[in-house]
Amino acid sequence: MPDVNPAPAIPHYDALVIGAGFSGLYQLLCLRDRLGLKVQVLEAGEGVGGTWYWNRYPGARCDSESHSYNFTFSKELFEEWEWSERYPEQPEIMRYLNHVADRFDLKRDIRFGTRVTGARYDEAANRWTVTTEAGERFSAQFLITAVGCLSTANVPKIPGLEDFAGQWVHTGQWPHEGVDFTGKRVGLIGTGSTGIQATPVIAAAAKHLTVFQRTANYSVPAHNAPLKPEFKQWVKANHATLREVMRSTPNGHPFVIADRSVWDVSDAEREALYEAAWAKGGLQFRATFRDLLVDKAANDTAAAFLKNKIREIVKDPATAATLADIDHPYAAKRPPIDSDYFDTFNRDNVTLVDVRAAPIERVTPDGLQTREASYPLDIIVFATGFDAMTGPLLKLNIEGRNGMPLAQAWEAGPRNYLGLQVAGFPNLFTITGPGSPSVLCNMPVAIEQHVEWITDCIAHLRAKGLARIETTEPAMAGWVAQVNDAAAATLLPEAHHSWYLGANVPGKPRVFMPYAGGMAHYRAICDEVAAKGYAGFALSD
Ligand code: N01
């Protein structure tokens, strides 16, 4: 007799993709339209955009130049889209991603408002079953995470926050209705890329802004401006060239690192080159010399130039000294670019507080208290960053073969092969996972490479009649060593408090997470692995 209350059938797909930002959108397009797979995307937000859907804080803008911050896989898409400014602002990036989703009819295969809370691999069925916050379940042969690297907000556990009488917000979970700073005393904690972008905009709106700085930071002007029609035309006419440059440079940006050492030029020539780079602005400052990130003495010359700029711009000598008291090499932490950040400290309504010298002790009902003073506040803005790279993956509660939690497999830090796969987790792919260039690269370039590699890999399996791919322990051990070696060859690990190392989250293992060997080199490694029949992976039916 049939069961009168049969368990609802779990919808089954060839592939489930978690996240509908740049990576999820392109992965859906590739698997559905190029391979003909049945694909479902699950997205926590109510729209596409990923990181950009959540990061709506004032001043949110990308630090990749707009003509490089887009997909390049479609010449038509590239040529029909027109950015308005040198650096795209968050609302314009949202318009772009919605345009992509609509142009390729992607939204019909995305379930919005669907937060994944668990994923479990069933060995016998060779299936992943994914659970959502609402208790729904989905299953698929392949599970692909497209959750981004910087999507898990890090709100420091400061005692007393629950008793704060005012409003507090984290920049990465910004209220969609916005925050009204008019007439308000605002405290902003954090001086990374986000705090540096938000400070001038909040200062212009608030009654008073107090910036709480723990680690002083370099910043180079963005010199953002509307794009000239001639430049837009040039971009449209140069799709192939730009794509080629971005795919061949170590960081996926559309500029080439100068082939000269800091020591090839005289002191005066060096200063002139730094001045020219400062006047041009943006991340290209890093490209002034080839040895800035590998030779500490070379880096010191850039650091000295940038610290001098701070002292020139900021009128109050004590404030300037605190802002210029930077303890790490230039670009060893992700280098911010800004619009009037340092100049903002010349405003009468802005105060800088050094919380390295006098740490924050607690939040009180009416503000923040450091070891030395109390600061009455109406609004606290946490620009305190993210549980980067591993955070978004671990939050999914992924369990591989025999119920092994990913959190346990990564107890001592992330271990995987090529940043793409973890042994014990068959048919799971992590787009821009730790161990891949990801955040050290212009993200759309890193994303296109990963998505295309995963697509080709699944196509290969299908063509060979194979059902499963899983990396091996030895392949992972070799790759982890390569990731460590690549980082050790640079100055990047010298920024001890960097989120690249997980140092911003108390208790997180200190492991240098992104692959620092350069995007072009990484692409060649991945291509070679594929050409050798997916060396380092076990393929089976
Ligand atoms: O975060 P961060 P972010 N008490 O981790 C401080 C990308 N992004 O959101 O260095 C006091 O860099 C912390 O101090 P310290 C980009 O890749 C891109 O700014 O840990 N302070 C630091 O100053 C970027 O790198 C764009 O000592 C505390 C700050 O908070 C990444 O996102 C724009 C604290 C956090 O800086 C993350 O940037 C924005 C505490 N308890 C972001 N805890 C563009 O494309 C943390 N801090 C332009």
Please give the Cα distance from 118 to 204 (Å, whole number). 43
Residue 2 banded pLDDT, cuts 50, 70, 90: low
502 CA → ligand 1 middle, Å: 12
Atom 22 (ligand 1): residue with closest C-alpha? Answer: 190
Residue 323: what are its φ and ψ, rounded to 5°? -70, -30
Q: What is the mean pLDDT of residues 342-351?
A: 98
Q: What is the mean pLDDT of residues 192-214?
A: 98
Which CATH code is given to the segment(s) 12-152+388-540? 3.50.50.60
Q: Is 504 in the pocket of ligand 1 (CB under 6 A)?
A: yes
The ligand 1 atom nearest the CA atom of 439: 17
Domain boundary assignment for the chain = 12-152+388-540, 161-382
- Asked whether residue 233 carries a pLDDT value surpassing 90, the answer given is yes
Residue 86 banded pLDDT, cuts 50, 70, 90: very high
- Asked whether residue 419 carries a pLDDT value surpassing 80, the answer given is yes
Please give the Cα distance from 496 to 494 (Å, whole number). 6
What separation, in Å, do the N-terminal and C-terminal C-alpha atoms of the chain show? 35
pLDDT of amino acid 268: 98
Q: What is the mean pLDDT of residues 161-190?
A: 97
Q: What is the mean pLDDT of residues 315-340?
A: 97
Q: What is the mean pLDDT of residues 35-63?
A: 97
Q: Is 501 in the pocket of ligand 1 (CB under 6 A)?
A: no
| Global pTM exceeds 0.95 | yes
Cβ 501 vs Cβ 510: under 8 Å: yes
Q: Is 195 in the pocket of ligand 1 (CB under 6 A)?
A: yes
Residues 380-392 have pLDDT tens digits of 999 999 999 999 9
| Cα Rg of the chain (Å, integer) | 24
Cβ 514 vs Cβ 436: under 8 Å: yes
Q: Is 451 in the pocket of ligand 1 (CB under 6 A)?
A: no
Q: What is the mean pLDDT of residues 185-205?
A: 98
Residue 497 banded pLDDT, cuts 50, 70, 90: confident
Q: What is the mean pLDDT of residues 399-409?
A: 97
Please give the Cα distance from 241 to 233 (Å, whole number). 14
- Asked whether residue 158 carries a pLDDT value surpassing 80, the answer given is yes
Cβ 78 vs Cβ 174: under 8 Å: no
Residues 371-381 have pLDDT tens digits of 999 999 999 99
Q: HSE (CB half, 13 Å, CA atoms) of 34?
A: 16
Which secondary-structure segment (H or E) carries 529? helix 519-531
Which secondary-structure segment (H or E) carries 540? strand 537-540
Q: Is 191 in the pocket of ligand 1 (CB under 6 A)?
A: yes
Q: Is 384 in the pocket of ligand 1 (CB under 6 A)?
A: yes
Please give the Cα distance from 475 to 393 (Å, whole number). 21
pLDDT of amino acid 1: 52
337 forms beta bridges with 220
Atom 36 (ligand 1): residue with closest C-alpha? Answer: 192
Question: Tokens 């208290």 label which residue?
Answer: 369
Please give the Cα distance from 315 to 342 (Å, whole number). 10
pLDDT of amino acid 266: 98
The conformation of residue 417, written as its DSSP 8-state character, comes to: B
Can you say whether the dihedral through the CA atoms of 117, 171, 441, 490 is positive or negative?
A: negative
Q: Is 334 in the pocket of ligand 1 (CB under 6 A)?
A: yes
59 CA → ligand 1 middle, Å: 14
Residues 504-529 have pLDDT tens digits of 999 999 999 999 999 999 999 999 99
The ligand 1 atom nearest the CA atom of 384: 30
Q: Is 518 in the pocket of ligand 1 (CB under 6 A)?
A: no
For residue 44, the Cα-to-chain-centroid distance in whole angstroms is 18
- Asked whether residue 230 carries a pLDDT value surpassing 90, the answer given is yes
Residue 455: what are its φ and ψ, rounded to 5°? -60, -45
For residue 36, the Cα-to-chain-centroid distance in whole angstroms is 30
Pocket test for ligand 1, best of 194, 215, 328, 341 (most atoms within 8 A of CB): 194
Q: Is 150 in the pocket of ligand 1 (CB under 6 A)?
A: yes
Atom 12 (ligand 1): residue with closest C-alpha? Answer: 192
Q: Which amino acid is at 289?
A: F
- Other C-beta atoms closer than 10 Å to the C-beta of 34 total 12
Q: Is 449 in the pocket of ligand 1 (CB under 6 A)?
A: no
Atom 43 (ligand 1): residue with closest C-alpha? Answer: 384
193 CA → ligand 1 middle, Å: 6
Please give the Cα distance from 14 to 424 (Å, whole number). 20
pLDDT of amino acid 165: 98
Atom 11 (ligand 1): residue with closest C-alpha? Answer: 214
- Asked whether residue 532 carries a pLDDT value surpassing 70, the answer given is yes
- Asked whether residue 437 carries a pLDDT value surpassing 60, the answer given is yes
102 CA → ligand 1 middle, Å: 33
